[in-house]
Amino acid sequence: MSTTTIRIEDELKARVAAVAERAGKTAHAFILDAITQTVEQVEQDNAFHALGQERWQAIQQTGQTVPWDEAKAYLAARAKGKPARKPAARKPNP
């Protein structure tokens, strides 16, 4: 494990100490948790954007997509716990 030094304003340091104490953690543990959460969020965002780009390229190559009304109905049924048939991608009608 390596050591990294960071410089933070005194006011932020005091705020971190206060919220860490309320959370029942040391300031060190609180900062590590915050860094971990931020890194995981950025990694998840990057994966989400990559998937979106991949799917957009597939739409551009094939011209096939799922109409919004069908996708919306499918998602609404799934959200209610109802069985739903996944809509198929196809070229839209002009």
> How far is C-alpha 28 from the geometric centre of its chain's CA atoms?
25
Quickly state the pLDDT bin for 90 (edges 50, 70, 90): very high
In whole angstroms, what is the distance from residue 37 CA to residue 43 CA? 10
Domain borders along the chain are: 1-62, 64-94
Q: What's at 26, amino acid-wise?
A: T
Per-residue pLDDT tens over the stretch 5-60? 999 999 999 999 999 999 999 999 999 999 999 999 999 999 999 999 999 999 99
Q: What pTM does this model have? A: 0.72
Scanning the structure block, which residue is given the tokens 């919220």? 19
Scanning the structure block, which residue is given the tokens 């969020």? 41
